[in-house]
Amino acid sequence: MKIQSISLFLIMILAVCSLTMGAVGQEKSNWQSVQAQGDAVIKDDNLARAQMEAIENALRNAVEKAVMQLLSPDVTASQAIALQEAIYSAAEKYIQTYKIIAETPSNDAYLVSLKAVIDRAALEDKLRNLGIFVEEPGAKEIITISMTVRGIRSYPLYQRFMKVLRSDVNGIREVRLLSARQGTVGLDIDVEGSLSILIDKLGKTGQFSYNLNQTGENELEMMLLER
């Protein structure tokens, strides 16, 4: 009888542990870690203000990336105005916490790289309330392309180039700035499909003149040309 009581007690303990672990796992899935970059123009040598604006832009970019991982590029593009008004304009509501990884003040710009923890559950709820479909994770194959871009002659050109990658090239899920020095930037680009698809879509933007070379299986080198 005593052995049966002990066995029953152990079964109850295991059941409680299983439920607790399940709840913890479910809670963790509500949060998502996203790395993002932000930048701001330095005005009147005010580094503190530029840093604050760069951090705000980076947090907004982090929320945009989290949304792009939930929605297809077509849906993201067609719902751009709704997403801007309902989510991106209040991006801080979806940030649980963040940590600055690197920050680089230069002559005219302040660059910040950070890792933010996003409230994924709140984002999904908001998207459903807006009537926007949320994709199941892993629905599409995503690959990472390493790209070196040369010929970045000014900060406005860098801003325009990054905007084209993030907004105008269909299928790009995330763009991460890895390095920036002397007119050259190193990027990691998460894209749906394959390297050849990315090359084709870059050519269709018509925004820049460039020479493009494939330097590895998933590696590109681009030289921007003056127009």
pLDDT in tens, 7-66: 444 334 333 333 333 333 434 457 888 888 999 999 988 989 999 999 999 999 999 988
Specify which of 71-75, 80-84, 193-197 reaches the highest per-range mean pLDDT.
80-84
Between CA 131 and CA 125 the distance in angstroms is 10
The type of residue at 136 is: E
**pLDDT tens, position by position, 69-78:** 888 777 888 8
Question: Would you call 58 helix, strand, or coil by DSSP?
Answer: helix
What does the pLDDT read at residue 217?
A: 83
**pLDDT tens, position by position, 122-158:** 998 899 888 886 655 555 677 889 999 999 988 888 8
CB contact at 8 A, 166 and 88:
no
The answer to whether residue 67 scores a pLDDT higher than 70 is: yes
- Structural domains in the chain, CATH included, are 31-139 (3.30.1660.40), 140-227 (3.30.70)
Between CA 111 and CA 153 the distance in angstroms is 16
User: Which strands, in side-by-side order, build the sheet including 172-181?
Assistant: 172-181, 184-192, 142-150, 219-225, 209-216
What does the pLDDT read at residue 27?
A: 40
What does the pLDDT read at residue 1?
A: 47
What does the pLDDT read at residue 71?
A: 84
Mean pLDDT for the stretch of residues 92-97: 93
**pLDDT tens, position by position, 150-178:** 999 888 888 888 888 887 777 787 888 88
Phi (first) and psi of residue 108, to 5 degrees: -130, 0
The beta-strand segments (E) located in the chain are 31-41, 95-105, 109-119, 142-150, 172-181, 184-192, 209-216, 219-225
